[in-house]
Amino acid sequence: MSGKPGQLVACLVVGALAGCAAMHDGAAERRRSAYSSSLGPDATTMNRAVTIASDGRYEDAARAFEQLLQRLQTAGGDRAAAAEAMFWLAFCREKQGRFSEAAALYDRVAAEFPDARAADNALQRRRRIDPMAASRPAP
């Protein structure tokens, strides 16, 4: 870590971030707080599946998210948890290159759980998927 140039860069970054913070959307934050995930007993399963995904084992993680999603939907349980599980399933498919499946799942998250935290993330990631890639068949 160099001395003065590094500190200068850090100061610039901190100043820029202070400006960004002023533009933070307070309405979105309030909406998220009102519709937050409370996984309860399924939190451990969700965390474990996310850890598996962070290791790059997307197929194993997708299988875990599918099981969790099926359990949450059949039990008529936590909608926020179901939305997050569906989002992570779409995330794994995107990382696997199965863009059409991922796009469809992101769309379902936004359509079925419009007030969930995961809906915003789903829409953002859905927009980033190349329309050409989305139309490509899964490998």
Partner 1 sequence: MNQQADHDDEQVERMLRRWGADEAARRVQPGAPPIPQATPRRRRTTRRWALAAAAGLVLALAAGGALMVSRTDLAGQTQALTGAQADADRLEAELAQARSDLDAVRADLARAGDKALADAKRHAAAVEKLREDFQARQTASAAKAVQAAARLKRLEADLAAAGGKLKKAGADLAKAKSQLVAAQTAATRPSAELARLRRRLAAANTELTRLGKQNRDALLAQRKAANDLAMFQAARRVAVGDYQRAYLSAAAGGATGLAACQAASANTRLLARCAQLRPSIRKPATRNLFDRIEIILTRLDLIDPGGLNAAADLVKIIRAGDVMAQIDAATAIGAEGVEVRQWLIEAGAILAGVQRVG
Binding site for partner 1 (CB under 8 A): 1, 6-7, 9-10, 13-15, 17-18, 20-24, 29, 33, 36-38, 43, 47, 50-51, 53-56, 84, 87, 91, 95, 117-118, 121, 124, 128
CB of 97 to partner 1, least distance (A): 13
| Residue with smaller CB distance to partner 1, 23 or 132 | 23
| Residue with smaller CB distance to partner 1, 35 or 104 | 35
| Residue with smaller CB distance to partner 1, 56 or 139 | 56
CB of 122 to partner 1, least distance (A): 10
Closest CA to 119 of 20, 23, 21, 35: 35
CA distances from 23 to 3, 62, 121, 125, 139 (A): 31, 36, 19, 22, 41
Among all chains, which residue has been given the structure tokens 């993680």?
Answer: 61
CB of 86 to partner 1, least distance (A): 12
| Residue with smaller CB distance to partner 1, 40 or 138 | 40
Contacts made by residues 25-33, CB under 8 angstroms, sequence distance 24+: 28/120, 31/115, 32/117
CB of 32 to partner 1, least distance (A): 8
The amino acid at 94: E
Written as one string, the DSSP assignment of 94-113 is HHTT-HHHHHHHHHHHHHH-
CB of 101 to partner 1, least distance (A): 18
